[in-house]
Structures are given as C-alpha cells and as structure tokens.
Chains A and B, each alone.
Chain A
Amino acid sequence: MNQMNRINGQPLGGTEATGAPRSGQANRLSGGQIDHAKTLNFRFDGKTFQGHPGDTLASALLANGVRLMGRSFKYHRPRGPLTSGSEEPNALVELRSGARQEPNTRATVAELFDGLEAMSQNRWPSLSFDALAINDRLSTFLTAGFYYKTFMWPKAFWEKLYEPIIRRAAGLGSLSMETDPDLYDKGFLHADLLIVGSGPAGLAAALTAGRAGAQVILAEEDFLFGGRLIAETYRLGSGSGADWAAAAIAELAAMPNVRLMPRTTVIGAFDHGITGAVERVSDHLAVPAAGKPRQILWRIYAKRTLLCAGAIERPIPFENNDRPGILLAGAIRAYANRWAATPGKTVAIFTNNDDGLRTATDLIDKGVSVAAVIDTRPEGKTLAGTTHLKGATVIDSAGRLGLTGITVRLGTGETRQIACTALGVSGGWNPNVHLTCHQRGRPVWDAKIAAFVPGADLPPSMSVAGAATGDLTTSGALASGAAGAVAALDALGITARAAELPEAEDAPVNVTPFWYVKHGKGRAWIDQQNDVTVKDVKLAHQEGYRSVEHLKRYTTLGMATDQGKTSNMAGLAVMAELTSKSIPATGTTIFRPPYTPVPIATFAGRSAGKDFRPVRQTPSHKWAAEQGAVFVEVGMWKRAQWFPRQGETHWRQSVDREVLATRNSVGICDVTTLGKIDVQGTDAAEFLNRVYANPFAKLAVGKVRYGLMLREDGMAMDDGTTARLAEDHFVTTTTTANAVGVYRHMEFCRQCLWPDLDVQIISTTEAWAQFSVAGPNARKLLQKIVDPGHDISNEAFPYMGCGEITVCGGLRARLFRISFSGELAYEIAVPTRYGDGLIRAMVEAGKQYDSVVYGTEALGVMRIEKGHAAGNELNGTTTARNLGMAGMVSKKKDAIGSTLSEREGLNRDDVLALVGFRPVDRSRPLVAGSHFINVGAEATAANDQGYMTSVAFSPNLGHSVGLGFLKSGGARKGETLRAVNPLNNEEVEVEVVSAHFIDPEGDRLRA
C-alpha cells in the first residue's frame, strides 16, 4: 500500500509506470510516489504548468523541463535547485499572491496543490533576462566585504543612498506589505519519546517504542514519511524501501500511543530537553480551512528525544558549478525515484564516493542517459553501462541559463568536453548534527566518512541514531534506530524489544575526501545562497579573518535561509587548507535554532492584531459602550476616557462638562481597575507598617489611611489607600498600573523578608466593582442607594471612614470615604456581577442632581487641579521628599526604603519639589515634559531647574495648570520661569504656584 492513501485520505491511481510522459512534462519519468492519474495546474512566473499530487514545486518544474528557478542573491546568476529538500540554497520563490504572498519559499519543499502560484525573485524584468546580472560582470568589485570598504564616504550617504540601493540590488523576495490573513497556533505536546525524522532509523525506533506502549511522537518535516527510503530503489527484505515505510506507518497509525506528525519540522532543542516544532497544517492547501491555522508552533515536552535526522549531501565546488541543472547526486536520484522527474535527459555524475555511483545506476534503470561518471578516485570498481572516468574531475561547465555541457580533466591531465543537461555532484554526506549543537554542543570529526558527527555533549535527554550518527548504511540506520529507542526507553524504566528488522543494504560509502576542484581560474561556488566562492574564502583569509566565525561574518558564508547546510563544510575545508590546519582543528560555526526558516507570524501565534494581548473590561464596560464612551488602554484594561454627548465635537467639551458637573454637583467613575489586595492575619497591621513608609499599626477599624510605599532604595514605588475592616483584616488599594507589581512585592515581603509574620494576602481586584461618587451631592446620591439602616452622614461616616454596608435592598457592599478629586467623595464596591446594575441604579438616582459619569480624562484633570501625584509623578526617580511627603516617612519605625531615603544627596536643600505652575499668559497651553529654565538663562542642561510632569486645562480656572518638579520648588512660589520645550522649539512663561489649585484647605472633601 502507498502511504499517501492514508495521509491524504484520497485514493491514488497505480504508482507504477503509467506509460508515456504527458504533454509539457517532458522530463517526467514513470513510477515514484506521485499520483500520475491526477493532474494539478499551477503557475510559475505567470506561465501555467501541470504536475501531480505528491510533487513539490521543484519536482513539477523539473518534470516540465524548467531548471531555471531563481537568480542569486548578489550576482544575479541564473540558478536552479541544488537539492530536493529543506537544505535548498537556490530555488527560492515567492509563493502565493496578495496578502498570502510569502517570499523565500523553498520550491523543493513547497508541496504542489491545484492553483499554486509562484514567482521567481530577485530579477528584473524577468528571470531569463535580468538587468542586474550586470553585477556578475562587476564581480571583481563586489567580492566579500565589498560594502564594508566601498561605501564608507561620505558618511551621510550610507543610510540614505548606498544602503537602499544595495538592498534593492542584493535581496531575495519581497513582502506583500499586507496584513497576514491566516491564523497561527501555538501548542504543547507531551511524550515519552520524540523521534525526529522518519527515515529507516526513525521508523525502526518508532516501531520499537510504539510496540512497547510508550507515548511516542514521530515528527517528519516532509509530507511523506520514510526519509531516504522513499527516494531509493534498494530492497528492504523482500520489498521496496517505500513499501516497508508505508507498512510501518500503517502499523504506527493504528497505535493510540503514537502521534504521527508529517509536515512537522523540529526547529530547535531548547533548555531542559524541550524541543520546538513547526507543523505546517495548511501550507499544502490553497487557503486554510475556516478557523484552521496555517501553522502551529509546538513546544514538545518529551522525556527523551531520539534524533534521526539523517545526513545531507555536500557538493564539490568547481568553476561555474552553479548552473541550473547541476544538482546533488542524491537529489537527482530522489527526483527520479520518488518524484519521477529528471532535471535533464542526459546526465553526468561527478562523485568522490560510491553513493554517487548509485545515482548513475538508478538513472540508467529509469532509462535516463548517463553521459559519464567522473570519479575523483583513481581506484575502485568500474560501473557498467556508462563511461566511468576515474581519477577525473569536472573543471568547468557551460550553458547560459542552464547546463549544456561540462569540461572534464582526466587523470592523464587532458581535458574532455561532455554534453549533458544535468550533472549530479556528490562530495559525500554530512550527518545532520544541527539539533545536537543547539545547547552549545560541538560535533566531532569522523575521518572514516570525512565529516563531523555528533559529539558527546548533546542537549539533555537527546540521543542520536541512523545516518545522523555517521553510520550511512540502511542496515546500520535500522539497527541503531531500534537500539536507540530501546536505550531511551530503558532510561525511563520502560522495557522495549528492538523491532525485527528487514535485511537491508550495508554498503560502505567509500568516500575519499575531495573538497574542491583547484583547476580553473573562474569562480567556484561554495555557498550558492550567499554567492560565496572559494576565492572569497581565500580573500577573507588574506585579510586576516581566520576564525570560522569571522569567516562567516565577513563572507556571509552559511547565512540566510539555508544556514549553510550544503556549504559550511566546503568553506571550512578551504580555510583549513589555507591555515594548514585540520578541519576539526578549524572547527565549525555554532548551529542555532531554528533549523529551517519560520514565519514571524508562527512565533506570534494568536497574539496578533486585536488579540495581541487579552483585554480586561471593567464592570461598567457594557453600560459605557452603550453610552458611546471613548475607551483608552490602561495596561490590559480598557477604561472609559470620556463620554461624549450629542453635540460635543471635541474631547475637551466632554471632559470640561464632566469636570464641571462633578465639582458643581456629582460625578460617578468606575475605579475598579485600581488594585485591591486583601491583607489578613494577626500580624497584618505590622506587615503594612513595614511595607508602607507611614505608620499603619494604629489605624482604627472602620478607618482608611493614605499610604506611601517606597522601594528599598528610598524612591517612591506606589501609593493608595488602605482600609481597616477588622483588627486582622485590611484592604489595600494600589494604582492601576502597579497592581500586579505591588502584589508581587508584598508576596516577596511576606514569603522572603518576614516569613515570621502571620499574614495572608490575595488579590480581590476582580472580585469587586468599585465606583467613585464625587461632588457636593455625592452623599445625597448615595443615600438613595445605600440601605436606610446605614448612616452615612458626615458625623456618622466622616472623611476617611469605611464600612461594610448593604445597598439596593440587601446587597453586601463596601463604602469608603476617600477622595482623589478633592470633592466630597466616596468609593462604593459591590460584587463584580452587580457592578453593571449598580452603575445603572446610580445614574438613575443621580438624574435629579444632573449627575455625570466621568472618564479617566476628567479624573486626571481633577487630580491635577487638586495637586495629587499620579504615575507621572511617581515615575521611579522621585522620593517622598520630592513629592512633598517627606513628613510621611516615619522615623519611629523601620519600613522598606526609609533608611535609604535618608541619603544625603536625596535631602539637599535644592532637591526637586512638586509645585504647581500656571501660564503667565493664561491663554497659553502648557506642555508636559517641558523643562524649567530661569528667565534670561540659556536653555541648556546645565541650567535645568526641573521639569513639568502633568498638565491639564482646568475648566474651573479657565486656563491651563501644570504640576512639576522644581529645584527648591517650595521656596520659589511667585517666581516666573520659562517652561522650555526644545523638541518643538517652544517655550511658555510660567508662574510657580501651590500644587493645590482647588480647595487647598480641603474643606470640600470634609464637607
């Protein structure tokens, strides 16, 4: 059976030969893991092509005879695919159109779907004629590091001129600049064993662990399971590798303890054995289904991880080795065997190992003409059915937009031209050690395969099996996969028996290191994605960049979307040769997550747009929205900023009305957002006494006190009121902004500083809906709400009183006589679910007094008029003394911050003091953030006298008022200064006044 049946849930036609290639698909072969019976239409650069289910964009284009798929980054060289997988450096396209357009998508892993649209990148006006290919002619000037040297003068030109030009010329795909319409999820998975990769090692491991009953996740970046098994022709037992893989997957799919995850790339091995994986849920569909994510970023908590990531073939750089049609030999084999496609009808092979010979054999079996096999090794067996040139190298290639032939240098030294339209290159295989290095592990050199293999310092709980360990045989991969699973589960106390394994090939690769071809004067490409040549590496060496990390930065070798998966080794080898060091002594650069590119949107998940963060709504939100309130974000809260009424066209009209109505009669404001912390325990009073700078021990039950909290360094941290409801029960309020911070601070104090105190705290911010009712008629309004049994007259319930009461016929409530506005004011609290009902009842009760509901803007105006400090003044740099509250810092007790608040520098005579300001010309507005400069002095930092923190237009006074910190401020009332705003080059003459613009004696709030 074919696994595509199961994965896609759709029947396939025979996957065996289906006869002659269809029209257009000139390079389509027979067989493979594609559904020849079904045709998909797709477009590349505006032209329509046909492919089949199971194709990638790259395999379908190759089948259609298209080898040219992109232009290179710097020199705009024509390029085609080098690989058949995620390591692809060249075949990058813009996939889809409109808002879903995605740049730099690897055609080699883009699963074909009907209607797919792709455009080539980095070319103008077209892929076959690219004007910027002129860069290729200018290559002498554009070598590594050219822009570090060339564009240094004049300095100002860099940002405005040079950089934009370079970015336009050297770039990859472009962004749509539209909002991504798709959804992205994040999630969490748990397992005993995570198996990364489903080649022979991964499948043997999954069968072993699955049959043992362990919780297993098998993650495969491809849309088909099987790894190289579905790209090869050798037998596993009595059948093909693909059949064995399909049977294994069918068995695993039936196990409830095994989770099969195709299209899922494990992108990183993070702390504590946690791995990250990206599942491409909908990338193989034209549009994701409604409500379904495009991709999911999974955080996998597996007790053990078995890395079965296989190996990546490496090319051999030679002159002009980057023409479309020159691929890795293993990739050509995969295209032929799995995708029934060939990049050319006449293929040559260039290899330094036996695996390269397999490609020739498979192609011959498929009926593809193999022009020659160029083998760097002078010895070894001779391949039948083709010309096997031993001890030979490819030294050049020809063909402007695609390969037409190669120049071969024979062992004898003579050269020979060979016509071919594709060349398969194999320089050996590099175990895929990427994930083993994410925790700073260093791979070690294995001379047997001339490659790095995983070192001993693996990420926690990770082990490695299969080709990723350096055992490049199929039988070795199967055995080490099964053994790896047994060992991993043994560590968890789960007994597993290695799955019986089929017989498989165990031919050694017989690689003879051959890093690059030295003949030829032209450019031999090491890193095709970044256009880095052998010469560039030599130049870096010549200029003193010897460390591989410096080499990488100077040349850009190994950067960008492929992270040098096919190029790093050749770069290292050249550098090793130049420095006369061994490759292991030269070392590798650090491998970092993600393993393959991940859209930023995937990392964001659902936290985008309006769902960027959760929204907190106040209990009166519904009512406020009905009134057409304008909301403002205050942290996560949405608070009503003002409530426009009909005819009001400017926010100031609404705010002025709300302020005047409150000061003249009564206003209501939702103040639920202020933090509320329930503090209980026999030592609750002592606890508060230590947390607040001012004393709390003797606060009477039924009373409220304003408290100022300092940080350990003596700076003001937060302020608020604390009510004593019982001997052992207080309710503390915090500012909205600091609610969480103060709670955290108090928990720290409770648990770490004073664990000997009997005190328990819990947040009740959400539990109670709290409203301020302020203004001369506040009491009258509340008397209509508060149940008659509770006397709230001035005598019975004076300023700074509090109590538990009932309202509206028996609902439990709390009443506090506190004022932020400076008016006669109360705060009334009911359980949150009744907050909506309460504001409606209060609005109704207030009608006879022409009451208003006011928002945060009016709240701000009134507190500035009253001279109350808020966040602008409690800005983390101000002390109690700066705030005019030095007297509150009790010297009779120890409290957090009281000692350090005594520092000499904080107590000089000329320290900043909070005072009020009004414009000399009353018609002028004030600007917060302005700095005060003496009249006649130059506006310099040295002459700075302080700064304005808060400003408002006072509708009561008819002019702007401001609060600010001024050197020796208390002693300078009556003085005239300049409030200078250098940002706008403006200044206003201001007069220093008391910060209390309204009711400085406080008669109103005690009324």
Chain B
Amino acid sequence: MPDHSLAPLLPLGGATPRRDTFAGLTITENPDVAIASVACRMGRDADLAKAAAALFGTALPVPGQMVAKGDWALFWTGPGQWMATAPFATHEDISRIVKAGLGDTASVTEQTDAWVRFDIDGARAPDMFERLCILDTRRMAAGSANRTMIEHLGTFVLCHRAGEAFSVLGPRSAAASLHHAHVAAAKSAI
C-alpha cells in the first residue's frame, strides 16, 4: 500500500467487506482484487501470447474461460481482450505492472475500481443464480467465465468450483443495487 492519507471506501459504503450468510450460501463483498484490462494490439497476438506467458506464468484463457496461476487470475472478456486480476495488497498498481510486462503488445487499462466483486460460496448458489441471470450455473464448469446481465447490469460471472464457488463482477457505482438483487434472490430461494 502506498502511504498516502486517503482512506478507501468499499463499494457498499462500509469500511469492512459486507457478508451475507444463508443456509448453504454466503455472499461476500471482495475489494481485495486489483484488475487491469488487457487488449491485444493489432497483429500482435503471438507477441502478446509470449509476453503474457512470461508475465503471468500461464497462457491467456480462451473464450468463456478463466485461468489462475500464482497471484494471477485471468479471464476472457472479448475477442483479444482479457481481465488480469491479482491481490490488491500487492498489486494495487496493477496496470503499470501489467503494462511493464506486456509492453507494446497490448493496451492495458486500470479497472480495479470499475467493478464491485461479490464472492458467492455454497451449494445453494445455483438456486440464487437462477433467479438472477440466464447462465446455467448448475452445469457451469470450474474455470468458466461468462458475461451476463444481472439486475439490468452487465456483469461477469466466474466459476471457481462447479456448483458452489463463483464470483460476480458488476459495475461499482451500482454495487448497492447489485447487492440488493443478490440478497433478494437468496432470500427468495433459501
């Protein structure tokens, strides 16, 4: 952490992450992830693949997929586009770190605070998700990463463990509405 004097405010307005617990389900606000977008420069696919493998220690994921290696987790967001994530505490300056590693093979943009992230854990997660989005979370494989609409908002749903561990990334400014939608769906289902 840089030693500046400004205190962070979490997306839901608290000083500590919000956590909601239901029988077989928890919804946890997770602000501890730094995010940078990576977009391949035109015609630099091979160069980017090489630089990315060196930086992240893994190949960039294919469409609909997420890969994790060490501190890094990457997911596909569009043709030639990915999000690179890493622990906030050690990678707050993620865009500079990624840019330094990828050089002119890719455009890199800080996205950390563009998103609110909710980690969804528990076997009842699909019961909540079927009231929120079109994804078939019951049959979503571990390592899947999909873009979908939740509460009218464009979101990413990542599946860490099939049927029971997911993350939802949505627009940070609408964090309260997105959180409300999750809690309402959980109450409805459980």
Contact = CB atoms under 8 A, between A and B. Distances in A.
Interface of A: 183, 185-190, 290-293, 296, 299, 301, 606-607, 611, 613-619, 621-622, 636-637, 672, 678, 680-683, 728-729, 757-758, 760, 762-769, 806-812, 830-838, 841
B10 interface: yes
Contacts, number: 161
B107 A188 contact: no
B23 interface: no
B147 interface: no
B171 A616 contact: yes
A299 B149 CA distance: 14
A835 B130 contact: no
Given A680-B109, A808-B4, A836-B9, A611 B114 contact: no
A557 B30 CA distance: 58
A830 B113 CA distance: 10
A766 B152 contact: no
Given A622-B9, A837-B7, A615 B172 contact: no
Nearest to A617: B173
A614 B177 contact: yes
B6 A760 contact: no
A190 B7 contact: no
A832 B110 CA distance: 11
A810 B81 CA distance: 30
Contacts of A611: 177, 180
Contacts of B4: 806-811, 834
Nearest to A835: B9
B139 A185 contact: no
Given A681-B42, A766-B171, A834-B9, 13 more contacts: A189-B130, A615-B174, A617-B176, A682-B42, A758-B42, A762-B39, A764-B114, A766-B115, A767-B110, A832-B114, A833-B113, A837-B7, A841-B6
A613 B176 contact: no
Contacts of A619: 9
Nearest to A189: B130
Contact of B8 (A621, A760, A833): A833
B88 to A, nearest CB: 9
B9 to A, nearest CB: 4
A681 to B, nearest CB: 6
Interface stretch (B53-61, B62-70, B117-125, B181-189): B181-189
Interface residues of B, number: 56
Contact of B173 (A185, A616, A807, A837): A616
Given A680-B39, A764-B111, A833-B31, A183 B5 contact: no
A807 B114 CA distance: 20
Contacts of A290: 187
A768 B113 contact: yes
B24 interface: no
Interface in B124-171: 130-136, 138-139, 151-153, 171
Contact of B138 (A190, A618, A762): A190
B5 A808 contact: yes
Nearest to A679: B107
Contacts of A835: 9
A183 B176 CA distance: 19
A682 B178 CA distance: 37
Contacts of B108: 680
B11, B39, B114, B187 pick with most chain A CB within 10 angstroms: B114
Nearest to B93: A812
A506 to B, nearest CB: 40
B19 interface: no
Contacts of B115: 766
Given A622-B9, A832-B172, A185 B131 contact: yes
A831 to B, nearest CB: 5
Given A680-B107, A764-B109, A841-B5, A636 B131 contact: no
Contacts of A769: 113
A800 B81 CA distance: 32
Contacts of A837: 5-9
Contact of A760 (B39, B112, B152, B176): B39
A737 to B, nearest CB: 15
Nearest to B79: A751
A263 B104 CA distance: 59
B43 to A, nearest CB: 8
Given A616-B171, A758-B42, A808-B6, A606 B113 contact: no
A189 B115 CA distance: 27
Nearest to A769: B113
Given A636-B174, A764-B110, A764-B111, A834 B152 contact: no
B131 A187 contact: yes
A756 to B, nearest CB: 8
17 contacts: A296-B131, A616-B173, A617-B173, A621-B13, A760-B107, A764-B110, A807-B4, A807-B6, A809-B4, A812-B2, A812-B93, A831-B110, A831-B112, A831-B113, A833-B113, A838-B6, A841-B5
B41 A188 contact: no
A637 B3 contact: no
B37 interface: yes
Nearest to B183: A291
Given A764-B110, A808-B5, A811-B2, A188 B134 contact: yes
A814 to B, nearest CB: 11
Contacts of A806: 4
Nearest to A621: B13
Contacts of A760: 39-41, 81, 107
A763 B153 CA distance: 14
A619 B116 CA distance: 13
Q: Which 5 A-B pairs have the closest CB atoms?
A: A837-B6, A291-B187, A614-B177, A680-B107, A832-B113
Nearest to B115: A766
Contacts of A763: 114
A339 to B, nearest CB: 31
B151 A614 contact: yes
B37 A810 contact: no
Given A760-B41, A835-B9, A190 B188 contact: no
A766 B113 contact: yes
Contact of B188 (A185, A615, A764): A185
Nearest to B44: A758
Contacts of A728: 104, 107
A762 B109 contact: yes
A809 B5 contact: yes
A296 B112 CA distance: 35
B130 A188 contact: yes
Contacts of A681: 41-42, 107
Contacts of A186: 131
A290 to B, nearest CB: 8
A812 B6 CA distance: 11
Contacts of B8: 833-834, 837
Contacts of B110: 764, 767, 831
A766 B43 CA distance: 30
A681 B172 CA distance: 26
Contacts of A617: 173-176
Contacts of B107: 678, 680-681, 728-729, 760
A402 B134 CA distance: 51
Contacts of B13: 621-622
Contacts of B181: 606, 614
A844 B133 CA distance: 44
A766 B114 contact: yes
A301 B31 CA distance: 34
Nearest to A787: B4
A762 B6 contact: no
A758 B7 CA distance: 38
A752 B3 CA distance: 45
A874 to B, nearest CB: 23
A617 B9 CA distance: 13
A299 B184 CA distance: 19
Contacts of A833: 8-11, 31, 113
Interface string B5-47: 1111111010000000000000000010000010111110000
